[in-house]
Structure 1
Amino acid sequence: MTLKDASAYNIQFLDGRPVFIDTLSFEQYIEGEPWVAYRQFCQHFLAPLLLMQQTDIRLNQLLRVYIDGVPLDLASALLPKRSWLKKHSLLHIHLHARSQKKYADTSGSVQRPAHTNVSRIGHLGLLDSLMNAVRDLKWLPENTEWRDYYADNSYSDEGFADKQELVKNYLYILKPSSVWDFGANTGEFSRLAGTRGIPTVAFDIDPACVELNYQDLQRQEQPCILPLLLDLTNPSPGIGWENRERDSLADRGPVDTILALALVHHLAISNNVPLDMIARFFSGLGRSLIIEFIPKDDVQVQRLLSGRKDIFDNYSQEEFEHAFSQYFTIEQTGAIRDSGRIMYLMRRKE
């Protein structure tokens, strides 16, 4: 058997493990036929990984624009010159892109060279080369803005433990069947849900945090948690045909419970999103909410305000509760020890 498709969308995650789901992609192997999914694999897997590792991790965003994978001529242009000296990138990206250009007709489609014949050994050799290319790619996250957040925040040891207990208690009360943790960082609080067997998606804007979270989960063999990259101020839209081929973030909800810990001040102050708009946004995504409010005199909020004028007169606990009370019922609150921070348990109004 062989695969006629090599789309990244054929891989989904279950308990933190990648699982191939498109069994209809299997077809009978015919001796001498080249692998028809070779270009697609390079565009969906190898090219994005090479660009992230050798050029800039943020180039993963190209996959939002190119739903059928990163065009090989674009990948070739963006990769550094030293990549021409590496066997795998030379063969599968640079020379592959040139071959596509050579055999492209005037309409832009790619024509297969005449008399193409690939032996079984050659077919297996190609697959082995691609596997080695992917296995050789490692990315070691360097210092970024948020990866050391837990070691540099406003909590005392007692306060941090207190926050963990509050989240545990709220999860016990809610007993959610699914959790989305927005601003999860490296997943410290996502694990409080995941270890209970609750399917949890740990979203964060920092690729380093997402990568470190995933590596830790793999080492510890912890199921139920999936770390994903997400800019909450620019969430994944519906893409593809009629914007319905791949669902938007909103279309994938609502989830049972949202965790929004040490997050609201970033949305309200760093990104100028009014509190009532934040509350409305969360109400469309989740049936219940475990959320933390950080007051303006907190050192983390003061850091955000240090380089700009304080125009946030409405950023207060009173205004926060008023805004969220329009969409949620506040059921419990808890002050975090040694800080002015407050934890809330809320349920969406129906």
Structure 2
Amino acid sequence: MSPHPASFRDPDGFVYTEAGTLYRAVAPTGVAGLELLQSSGLYARLVGEGLLVAHTTLASTDDGGRVLQPERLPFLSYPYEWCFGQLKAAAQATLTIQRTALEHGMTLKDASAYNLAFRGAQPVFFDTLSFAPYQEGEPWAAYRQFCQHFLAPLALMSRCDIRLGGLLRVHLDGIPLDLASALLPATTRLVPGLAMHLHLHAKAQQGGGGEPGKTRTATVSKNGLLGLLDSLESTVAALRWEPQGTVWADYYAATNYTDTALLAKERLVGELLDAVTPAPALVWDLGANTGRFSRLASVRGAFTVAWDFDPAAVEQGWREVVERKETSLLPLTLDLMNPSPRCGWAGVERDSLQDRGPAEVVLALALVHHLALANNVPLPRLAAFLAQVGKHVIVEFVPKSDSQAQRLLAHRPDIFPHYTQAGFEAALEPHFTRLRREAVPGTERTLYLLQARPA
């Protein structure tokens, strides 16, 4: 058995796959913590509240370890792909888990954002071996990690610029506190929670003192730990970001579709989804905006990832998922001109976008003209990429005469002689079998249902 490239940091065990099935190997050193997790009632409570993935214990190993089969989540996303609301929800879930753990005589020994994923609106913790017995007087070992992975990026996104969440892609171990402190406005030093957990925390680290108020011999009572959690919870809760009306967040309000044409497009996309057999389990919607068309797939039972590059659109989509309490739609942030790469240790610790595919169906609606006309992506390269990430693709072609395409060309010369419907179909031919082609009533646009040819 070979550990997953991302599962090497914990000596108590690792995750691996065999024949497509996910397993967790628990070393003998991790068995006591695992047994306490179950016997204390913590495991049952967290699983029951949807905060922890369930697992089945399959066997004991010859050396006294265990083999578990954890629930497999439908899609693994990364913190640098989450919108503000998702990162905040994950932070609050982590603090709730730590508080609940203390009630059951345990503690989280780490607080990495990479230990969580999402079932739609629900953040869920999946690192079973992150729980350790709580020892009276011990400070929370994961405090600094929580501040770097959650509090620092949330503060920067809320108080500086939402795009600073992208620093998480550069700093995979969390945003350094001295960097966050330097970037935050001076006024945040007057906010008690930010002053203590970021600014003073950063200063203590720079001075070699570690955590604020903590030395190597210092002890922290359980009440002190609960007070720390209270402070972190109130600090996180007070951080807010309101998505303003960006061009793309208000896309459907400003689109050139009539209501009749929009409904016709929805009907056609639904028909094309229904034509895919077997019914897809995983759908990616590239350029999903707020997720209106993504929901056509999720209501049909597919776990649907709604990717978009605009933070405001993704945030609005996320809030709608939360309001509806949806479990099969996941909005995420992605710039297709610079998609999530392989990164981390040895360049393979975190999977790229392509590594996590192909999806059974990819939706690429009102997307091609943005990539081709605004970003100069040649149609053959675009077709090859779509064939790489989707077994089936539902794609929309928008001609230059469409007002949205004209908008993209308004301030630049038209250097795209091959951007025609015939040119688009020629680019698709080497990579796809065309199953359907449908004109969108009331528009000049065309929808295609394609099946990727075997590689």
TM range (shorter): over 0.9
Partner of 2:242: 140
Partner of 2:265: 163
Instruction: Give the SS at the match of 1:90.
Output: helix
Which residue among 262, 269, 274 is the counterpart of 2:373?
Answer: 269
Show the 5 A alignment for 1:290-329: 290-329=394-433
Deviation at 1:66, TM superposition (A): 0.5
In structure 2, C-alpha distance between the alignment counterparts of 1:197 and 1:288, rounded to whole Å = 16
Which string of whole-angstrom CA distances, capped at 9 and with x for unpartnered residues, describes residues 62-91 of structure 1? 011111000000000011111011011100
Show the 5 A alignment for 1:88-107: 88-103=193-208
In structure 2, C-alpha distance between the alignment counterparts of 1:144 and 1:151, rounded to whole Å = 11
Partner of 1:18: 123
Which string of whole-angstrom CA distances, capped at 9 and with x for unpartnered residues, describes residues 227-258 of structure 1? 00000010000111111111111111111000
Partner of 1:117: 219
Instruction: Give the SS at the match of 2:217.
Output: coil
State the TM-score, normalizing by the size of structure 1.
0.97
Show the 5 A alignment for 1:43-54: 43-54=148-159
**Runs of at least 4 residues off by over 3 Å:** none
Instruction: List gaps (5 residues or longer) in structure 1.
Output: none
In structure 2, C-alpha distance between the alignment counterparts of 1:251 and 1:314, rounded to whole Å = 31
Aligned length: 346
Which residue among 204, 208, 212 is the counterpart of 2:308?
Answer: 204
Which string of whole-angstrom CA distances, capped at 9 and with x for unpartnered residues, describes residues 111-139 of structure 1? x6232111111111001111111112221
State the TM-score, normalizing by the size of structure 2.
0.75
Deviation at 1:200, TM superposition (A): 0.4
Instruction: Give the SS at the match of 2:362.
Output: strand
Partner of 1:179: 283
In structure 1, C-alpha distance between the alignment counterparts of 2:348 and 2:367, rounded to whole Å = 29
In structure 1, C-alpha distance between the alignment counterparts of 2:425 and 2:257, rounded to whole Å = 22
In structure 2, C-alpha distance between the alignment counterparts of 1:14 and 1:222, rounded to whole Å = 8
Show the 5 A alignment for 1:230-269: 230-269=334-373
- Contact persistence 1:195–1:222 (CA under 8 A): no
Deviation at 1:283, TM superposition (A): 0.7
Amino acid at match of 1:199: F
Partner of 2:322: 218
Partner of 2:253: 151
Deviation at 1:158, TM superposition (A): 1.1
Is 2:188 the counterpart of 1:80? no
In structure 1, C-alpha distance between the alignment counterparts of 2:184 and 2:263, rounded to whole Å = 45
Amino acid at match of 2:235: A
Higher-RCO chain (CA-CA 8 Å, sequence separation at least 6)? 1
In structure 2, C-alpha distance between the alignment counterparts of 1:134 and 1:114, rounded to whole Å = 27
In structure 1, C-alpha distance between the alignment counterparts of 2:127 and 2:384, rounded to whole Å = 36
Show the 5 A alignment for 1:56-67: 56-67=161-172
In structure 2, C-alpha distance between the alignment counterparts of 1:176 and 1:115, rounded to whole Å = 56
Is 2:453 the counterpart of 1:349? yes
In structure 2, C-alpha distance between the alignment counterparts of 1:12 and 1:173, rounded to whole Å = 30
Instruction: List gaps (5 residues or longer) in structure 2.
Output: 1-105
In structure 1, C-alpha distance between the alignment counterparts of 2:443 and 2:168, rounded to whole Å = 41
In structure 2, C-alpha distance between the alignment counterparts of 1:101 and 1:128, rounded to whole Å = 25
